Structure 1
Amino acid sequence: MNHTTAESWRHLRDAPHLPRAEGRIAAIDLARGVAIALMIVSHAVSGLLGLRLVPEWGMVPVHLLTKFSSSLFILVFGIALAVAFLPHARGAGWTRRRLKLWLRGLEVLFWYKALTVVEMLPLYAPEDILATLLWNNFAIWVEILGFYAIALIWVPLALPLWARAPLWSRLAAMVLVTALAAWLQGVDFGGNDILKALLVDHEDHYAWGQLSRAPLIMAGLLIGEALLRCYFTPAWRRRLVITLLGLGSAMLAAFFVLAAIGGEVHAALMAVARNVGKHPPGLAFMLFSVGGALVILAAALAGGERLSRVLLPITLVGSDALKAFIFHIVAIFLVLRFLLDSWQVYSYPQVLGIGVALVLGAAGWIALTRWIGANK
């Protein structure tokens, strides 16, 4: 066995030994901000106009690009956990940090339920809203918060195990969880569609399954580990960027190859734009969404602090994702749809403009609240 092979096997047996980040990594905020900005634009279109009225050029390519958002958001969730919490998961202060994550989960849960009311208020009767609050049904646009609220219950319990596990077992866990989630798609859960939706997605509900999306969190943890080792050394950062760019490009290429084999590339792109394969996750949708997310992540890491400053509004949005999420849901559903009765009032270019304005408005709101807090 040569030296390179022996070194590779040694790394596969190693548990992560991570340095601590040298301050906040703005590139993570930028990547998260891109995910949220794409989500806000997508929600403005679907929440104020509806996909059936979007012109074909709006679906492909414009609305198609927003499909990178969900995968990028979950990847960055795992990255942020690795950067901020994983180096401490084996230390004496872990109990306090675990409590911090659980309390954050309670905060997200509160806003998930509050924004469920805001989303449903213009659309549904009070009894339907109450049923959704009691998990007898699901909303649509705010369900990603429900995913994070539940994830923040179990992830703090899993992080110490992840921090002690050798690399081979972490990679194996990703494969096994992916296979388990796929197998559970064929199980009817005794007719309990809500439980199935919470665990592995359900085609009749717009919920995000914990097991279905857990491999993305795990991938984010692995990228976060690499980021801690590489980000502050330019040569190693370049290698990480090239690796992520290569993986993302390969996934996008695989999507187009599969679409070409089927003979309908444009139809495949339209299907992704219309969320076919999003709930539950399908191969084509995930290849496109995760591939694009990795390319965006590579660009954010390559740009680093300089690009984060150039795109400061996006970085601001990413630095306080929950506040940005609250801002745009309230603006779309409480102000525009409920108070101003603006459902299908605006053209597609106008709702795109509203989406961009909401991104800038969220950035301004975050900056304003921080300024107020600093000057009290």
Structure 2
Amino acid sequence: MQLTWSQIPQLPKAEGRIQAIDLARGLAIGLMIMSHAVSGLVGIRNVPDWGMVPIHFLTKFSSSLFILVFGIALAVAFLSHTQSDDWPKRRLKLCLRGVEVWFWYKALLVIEMLPFYPPGDIVDALLYGRFAIWTEILGFYAIALLWVPLMLPLWARAPLWSRLATIGVFIALTVWLQSLTFGGNDILKALLVDHENHYAWGQISRAPLILVGLLIGESLLRCYFEPAARRRLVLTLLGLGALMVGGFYALALASGDVHAAMLAVANNVGKHPPGLEFMLFSLGGALVLLALALAGGARAAKVLMPLTVIGTDALKTFIFHIVMIFLVLRFLLQGEGLYSYPQALGIGGLLIIGAAAWIWVTRWMAAHR
């Protein structure tokens, strides 16, 4: 199908569940779990050099891939229904999901902060007076699930040029708002466009990733079940990802110290607020992983079953790994500083398998009630 600038989304119904999306989401969550296990149990300052680069360096694909797949899943599951009579019901379902995610965000925030902070600081975070760290991505999704459904009908009717322009507008708006002080309200700035002193994810600064995900999801619906078109999509994503990662290394070479540039990314320099070098590497790597997941399809999803399973229920996986790391290992078992870096990596791997097992068991129990 030839693309034109005036083309509106072409959205055939998916022929069954696209397992490659679950695998891509599972890859993002798996990398996140490995990163959280290390930072939560060992601490970034205690990670050996060989752990920071390349291992912790590569986990930076996670956040961009997670948000991309969020947009892809919305396109695949909901975008084609925005003009149907049952759209208000589906929109309400998404908003209620946002409320559910928000509840778990606040509950897990308490669990995360419990080993580190006095009750007053925890209450302050619950009331948006400050932010935690590891659970803040859940807070981002909770808010996004409230506003993204409102713009999906407009997106579904918009021509291609205006959808691309909208992404550009969000990027320009992010750059402009980053230069403002928001009257000293750092919390509001963090919620909208990130803030260097807080680990919150800005709705405006991360919106372009969601919208790019919507574009990829639209293409995926048209291409996934046609082998030739699917190969073209995979190669396009792979090429774009490689080009972005190459751009990161070109900037690193220009700076004169490639290892220092890699170490800076591993230490989250340019993550909050998003910087050029960090986003080139993170988004580029995310596109490569997404392309590989789509290329592997159902066969790769079967081979990497634990990752695919956790990708089918991201919220339950998130709850499981935060509870295990911060409530069980850190708070109840007093495990801070007791684990070496290799042991933390091993724990991260076990948490992935454990989360997959937990999801399977709860589904089995629900099916046999």
| TM bracket (short chain) | over 0.9
- What is the deviation of 1:91? 1.4
Say if 2:341 is the partner of 1:348: yes
Q: 1:292 & 1:17 partners in 2: Cα distance?
A: 27
The residue aligned with 1:267 is: 260
Structural mapping, 1:1-376, within 5 Å: 11-376=4-369
Q: Match of 2:277, as an amino acid? A: A
Q: Helix, strand or coil: the match of 2:60? A: helix
- Give how far 1:93 is off: 1.1
Q: Deviations over 1:276-317 (max 9, x none)?
A: 000000000000000000000000000000100000000001
Unaligned segments of structure 1, at least 5 residues: none
Tell whether the 8 Å contact from 2:11 to 2:218 is kept in structure 1 after alignment: yes
1:375 CA drift (Å)? 1.0
How many Å separate the matches in 2 of 1:138 and 1:16?
37
The one-letter amino acid paired with 2:166 is: A
- Report the secondary structure of 1:13's partner residue: coil
- SS in structure 2 opposite 1:280? coil
Structure-2 separation of matches of 1:359 and 1:368: 14
CA distance in 2, matches of 1:19, 1:92: 17
- State the one-letter code of the partner of 2:48: P
Task: Note the alpha carbon deviations across 1:225-274, whole angstroms, 9 max, x for none.
Answer: 00000000011000000000000000000000010011110000000000
Q: TM-score, normalised by structure 1?
A: 0.97
Moved over 6 A (4+): none
**Structure 2 unaligned blocks of 5 or more:** none
CA distance in 1, matches of 2:131, 2:99: 19
Separation of aligned partners in 1, 2:98 and 2:285: 28
Which amino acid in structure 2 is aligned with residue 188 of structure 1? T
Secondary structure, in 3 states, of the residue corresponding to 1:12?
coil
Contact 2:73 2:217 in 1 (8 A): yes
Post-superposition offset of 1:17: 2.5
Structural RMSD (CA)? 0.9
Deviation per CA, 1:5-32, whole angstroms, max 9, x where unpaired? xx65xx2101112101111100000000
Q: SS at 1:334's partner residue? A: helix
Amino acid at match of 1:153: L
- Distance (whole Å) between structure 2 residues aligned to residue 119 and residue 261 of structure 1: 40
Counterpart Cα distance in 1 of 2:46 and 2:267: 12
The percentage of counterpart residues that share the same residue type is 70
Read off the aligned partner of 2:168 and give its amino acid letter.
V
Equivalent pair of 2:309/2:359 in contact (CA under 8 Å): yes
How far, CA to CA, are the matches of 2:5 and 2:313 in structure 1? 35
Amino acid at match of 2:72: I
Residue type at the aligned position of 2:30: A
Q: Contact 2:191 / 2:202 at 8 angstroms: preserved in 1?
A: yes
Distance of 1:23 and 1:110 partners within structure 2? 31
Q: For the Cα contact (< 8 Å) 2:10–2:222, is it kept in 1?
A: no
Contact 2:301-2:308 at 8 Å conserved across structures: yes
